[in-house]
Amino acid sequence: MLETQTLSEALDFFMYLLDEQDKEELTDIWKSKDVDMSLSDFLKKYSKKSYLEKQSKKQQSKDKDKEAIALAESILKLQKKGE
């Protein structure tokens, strides 16, 4: 089966399997605990996929901050030269 798939398709398949395993584990946790939220909300909040998306957003924010700092520094350098 994997022999006929491209690398991208194989990675997508493995990511799907990991996501399903994560859902199963979280479902078991949700069933065993007294949680005041629905299963779908619990999965959204605590899934590895959700965690990775949040980390990605933080990284994007840091990159934008670095760009803004670089722009501000370049503006300050221009002002010093123009004085």
- pLDDT, position 32: 94
Three-state SS letters, the chain:
CHHHCCHHHHHHHHHHHHHHHHHHHHHHHHHHCCCCCCHHHHHHHHCHHHHHHHHHHHHHHHHHHHHHHHHHHHHHHHHHHHC
pLDDT of residue 83: 55
Q: What is the pLDDT of residues 23-62, one digit of tens each?
A: 999 999 999 998 899 999 999 888 988 888 888 877 778 8
Predicted TM-score (pTM) above 0.75: no
